[in-house]
Amino acid sequence: MSDLAVDRDIDRSKMQVSDEVAIEISNMNKWYGAFHVLRDINLTVNQGERIVIAGPSGSGKSTLIRCINRLEEHQAGRIIVDGTELTSDLKNIDKIRSEVGMCFQHFNLFPHLTILENLTLAPIWVRKTPRKEAIETAMYFLEKVKIPDQANKYPGQLSGGQQQRVAIARSLCMKPRIMLFDEPTSALDPEMIKEVLDTMIELAEEGMTMLCVTHEMGFARQVANRVIFMDQGQIVEQNEPEEFFNNPKSDRTKLFLSQILGH
Amino acid sequence: MSDVSFVRTEMLPEQDPPASSVGVVGWMRENLFSGVWNSILTVISGVFIFYTLYGLLSWAMVPTWAAGSLNECREILHNMGREGHLAGACWGVISERWEQLMFGFYPNGSEEGTADLRWRPVLAFVLLIVALAPVLFADKVPGKLIYLSMAYPFLLPFLLWGGSIWSPIAVAAGFGVGYAAYRVIDGVAGSLAAVIGSVVAAILWWLFLASPVAGLLADIIPLGLEPVESRKFGGFMLSITIGVVAIGLSLPIGIVLALGRQSDLMIVKSLCVGFIEFIRGVPLITLLFVASTLLNIFMPPGTDFDIIMRVFIMVTLFASAYMAEVIRGGLAALPKGQYEGADSLGLNYWQAQRLIIMPQALKISIPGIVSTFIGVFKDTTLVSVIGLFDPLNLTNAIRADSNWNGIVWELYGFIAVLFFIFCFSMSRYSMYLERKLRTDHH
């Protein structure tokens, strides 16, 4: 667990939080069968916010962000993303999914398609972008994540760090307004974590709204403007990173921080 | 404590492997003579293979090609000094009857007033190969050939059964009608209504309009081929026809059934599960008997539902049920992340299935799919039990000729070799395809 993941100064000029609400979650509850996995979640995310969600495993943090693009269905309460409420209406779900990008722990690239095809697939089929334009956009974002030379390879031929950067680029090709990260570095070798974090920091520097479930506390400290701590399916504490790390309020948070930062 | 301290100052260069582990000698040492027991087994196997081949070849390599009957064969062999059961093969039966084994009783011009029509199945077979090329080797042939592949399902029955050219065109037009209905309704109502509407329109066309329209057109412009009855079909032509139809239809139907079985919709799911389990629980022979005898009872009196058509349906349904389970295996092997990846990008259900899920699931299932194909092709010989003259049933007909009474090995051997060629080609193709679609190596 690297406490300080970033060794450069972060350009904060564009990292501004606007008043515009990006995500509004109110009184949201979710059960897996009889198990109450998310309890009365209330969370408002403004455009441009960078939120890190931390917590022990099984605390519901992944489930929470997976509810935001309806990979999981919530049973009570409301989730409003960019003004559209998530209901069982398929049109709304597809609309929200095409505006919310997501990166997974295991990348979930499509192994039967080349990197370029992975990147252009959704723009062509969902956004109906002309192929030529989609390829230009894809190359632009591959350039951004610094692997344009791998465009014609298959995901299986890339390292884990490269695959995760491709996954980020794939989401960006849909020009999302919000990005969700579900433990993006947990499946990576230590040497590759940094390259993925660098990509995420660049994204933050451009003002992207981000929700990250991660154990990278260095990243949280330097990039996030808010850290949320969850346990047993509820939000236990949230604060600005400085306060959160230096002056945690709840005992559960103190215990958690002492365990992950203590060695 | 300087024992544990070590720093490499220069990296070692790459070296060639030792000579004894490469080349023919290396391979033989590794695989055939790696130890005492292995060497003994190698020698014993070599002797076994030698004697088997020696016996087989000395039986097969005999000059009986021109013989006109089994007795003539025996005479030739007797003159060579060979006697008894294993004296030698009697190839005369193949040289005299191979055309029958290929075409059954398809008109060959031998009867008074009939023409030799066997060019039609031959042309159909050649066109089959051409039509398959863009499907099997999409990257190696011109893309325009795909139009032939699309027309082939209508060309095949026209060439084999003959009749008016307008019938297959009217049937093909049903797809056009369905598509037109889809476009019209899609503009007005939703896409689900459009799908249902197009299916209904196409079925209405086929049931009520197709045959009058075809008849009308045939009256105006009578174009067509001489009709051939189903009972004249036989031999490999019959096996290949049934095999191609069942193989070609069972894959799409199997995909639909496999998706249906995974569906969240209760009724769709139950129907698919029920169908698959019922068909898999019943022997193919039973289904064929139903096709040949029972089906007529359920038809309105006087309906003449072609026997080969009934066999097509039964064999296709049978193959589809197995295909569905093979594809379900492929679907189950896909990580859940692939569905989530597709979902998170905003692809809808059909886009995700078509672009992400099916290409991978089918690729995983290639060995199983091809096994099913091979099984179906071999199962076509079962149609002999309902009196169709597939190659196996033809051997009985040939033995009924007093000239060839008592001949067994030569006929079955010939049929086995032909079946082997087809099945082995399919098997090799599947291996080629697996190699081609592999994306995890450089």
Question: Least CB-CB distance to B337: which of A95, A101, A104?
Answer: A104
Total of domains in chain B: 1
Nearest CA in chain A to B357: A110
Residue B411 lies in a domain: no
Residues on chain A touching B439 (C-beta within 8 angstroms): 111-112, 154-157
At A2, the pLDDT band (50, 70, 90 cuts) reads very low
Residue A14 lies in a domain: no
Chains A, B: CB pairs < 8 Å: 73
| Mean predicted lDDT score pLDDT of chain A | 90
**Which pLDDT does position A6 carry in this prediction?**
57
Nearest CA in chain A to B441: A157
**Which pLDDT does position A64 carry in this prediction?**
94
Residue B199 lies in a domain: yes
What pTM was computed for the model? 0.86
Q: Is the pLDDT of residue B15 over 90?
A: no
The alpha-carbon gap from A1 to the nearest alpha carbon of chain B, in Å, equals: 25
The alpha-carbon gap from A27 to the nearest alpha carbon of chain B, in Å, equals: 24
Cβ distance A125 to B351 less than 8 Å, yes or no, reads yes
At A4, the pLDDT band (50, 70, 90 cuts) reads very low
**Which pLDDT does position A7 carry in this prediction?**
63
Residues 324-343 of B with CB under 8 A from A: 335, 337-338, 340-343
Nearest to B346 by CA among A86, A208, A123, A87: A123
Residue B347 lies in a domain: no
Lowest-pLDDT range of A185-194, B26-35, B189-198, B297-306: B297-306
CATH of the domain at A156: 3.40.50.300
Interface of A with B (CB under 8 A): 69, 71, 90, 94-95, 97-98, 100-102, 104, 106-112, 121-122, 125-126, 154-157, 170-171, 174
Residue A61 lies in a domain: yes
Residues on chain B touching A170 (C-beta within 8 angstroms): 345
At A25-72, the pLDDT tens digits run: 999 999 999 999 999 999 999 999 999 999 998 899 999 999 999 999
Cβ distance B338 to A71 less than 8 Å, yes or no, reads no
Question: Least CB-CB distance to B344: which of A71, A106, A112?
Answer: A71
Query: DSSP string of chain A?
Result: --S----S----TT----SSEEEEEEEEEEEETTEEEEEEEEEEEETT-EEEEE--TTSSHHHHHHHHTTSS--SEEEEEETTEE--S-HHHHHHHHHHEEEE-TT----TTS-HHHHHHHHHHHTS---HHHHHHHHHHHHHHTT-GGGTTS-GGGS-HHHHHHHHHHHHHTT--SEEEEESTTTTS-HHHHHHHHHHHHHHHHTT-EEEEE---HHHHHHH-SEEEEEETTEEEEEE-HHHHHHS--SHHHHHHHHHHH--
Place of tokens 């799409």: B252
**Which pLDDT does position B441 carry in this prediction?**
61
Residue A16 lies in a domain: no
Q: Is the pLDDT of residue B50 over 80?
A: yes
Residue B174 lies in a domain: yes
Lowest-pLDDT range of A52-61, A88-97, A103-112, B385-394: A88-97
Cβ distance A156 to B440 less than 8 Å, yes or no, reads yes
Kindly state whether B229 is in contact with chain A, defined as any CB-CB distance less than 8 angstroms: no
Residues on chain B touching A109 (C-beta within 8 angstroms): 341
Question: Least CB-CB distance to B439: which of A106, A125, A154?
Answer: A154
Q: Which domain holds residue B187?
A: 163-225
Q: Is A51 helix (H, G, I), strand (E, B) or coil?
A: strand
Residues on chain A touching B340 (C-beta within 8 angstroms): 71, 104, 108
Residues on chain A touching B434 (C-beta within 8 angstroms): none
Residues on chain A touching B264 (C-beta within 8 angstroms): none
Select from B264, B338, B344 the residue whose CB has the most chain A CBs within 10 Å, as the one to mutate to test that interface: B344
At B190-228, the pLDDT tens digits run: 777 888 888 888 888 888 888 888 888 888 888 888 888
Nearest CA in chain A to B360: A112
Place of tokens 């031999």: B235
Residues on chain B touching A102 (C-beta within 8 angstroms): 344
Type of residue numbered B262: Q
Cβ distance B344 to A90 less than 8 Å, yes or no, reads no
Residues on chain A touching B337 (C-beta within 8 angstroms): 104, 106-108
Question: Least CB-CB distance to A126: which of B337, B346, B441?
Answer: B346
Residues on chain A touching B344 (C-beta within 8 angstroms): 69, 71, 97, 100-102, 104, 108, 171
Containing H/E element for A37?
Answer: strand A35-46
Q: Is A84 helix (H, G, I), strand (E, B) or coil?
A: strand
Nearest CA in chain A to B440: A156
Cβ distance A171 to B345 less than 8 Å, yes or no, reads yes
What Å distances lie between residue A135 and A109, A143, A150, B346, B385, CA to CA?
17, 12, 14, 18, 58
Q: Which domain holds residue A56?
A: 21-262
Q: First vs last Cα of chain A: how many Å apart?
A: 9
Residue A146 lies in a domain: yes
Residue B176 lies in a domain: yes
Containing H/E element for B164?
Answer: strand B163-164
**Which pLDDT does position B432 carry in this prediction?**
92
Question: Least CB-CB distance to B346: which of A104, A122, A156?
Answer: A122
Lowest-pLDDT range of A4-8, A59-63, A145-149, B191-195: A4-8
Q: Which of A133-137, B22-26, B397-401 has the highest mean pLDDT?
A: A133-137
| Residues forming a β-bridge with A100 | A178
Cβ distance B341 to A108 less than 8 Å, yes or no, reads yes
Lowest-pLDDT range of A11-20, A193-202, B37-46, B258-267: A11-20
Residue B420 lies in a domain: no
Residues on chain A touching B191 (C-beta within 8 angstroms): none
CA–CA distance, A251 with A229 (Å, rounded to integer): 12
Provide the CA B184 distance to its chain's centre, in angstroms.
Answer: 37
CA–CA distance, B345 with A99 (Å, rounded to integer): 9
Place of tokens 């722990």: A105
**Which pLDDT does position B2 carry in this prediction?**
58
Question: Least CB-CB distance to A112: which of B337, B340, B439?
Answer: B439
Residues on chain B touching A171 (C-beta within 8 angstroms): 344-345
**Which pLDDT does position B426 carry in this prediction?**
94
Pairing label, strands B224-225, A178-182: unpaired
The alpha-carbon gap from B348 to the nearest alpha carbon of chain A, in Å, equals: 7
The alpha-carbon gap from B192 to the nearest alpha carbon of chain A, in Å, equals: 13
Residues on chain A touching B334 (C-beta within 8 angstroms): none
Cβ distance A111 to B363 less than 8 Å, yes or no, reads no
Total of domains in chain A: 1
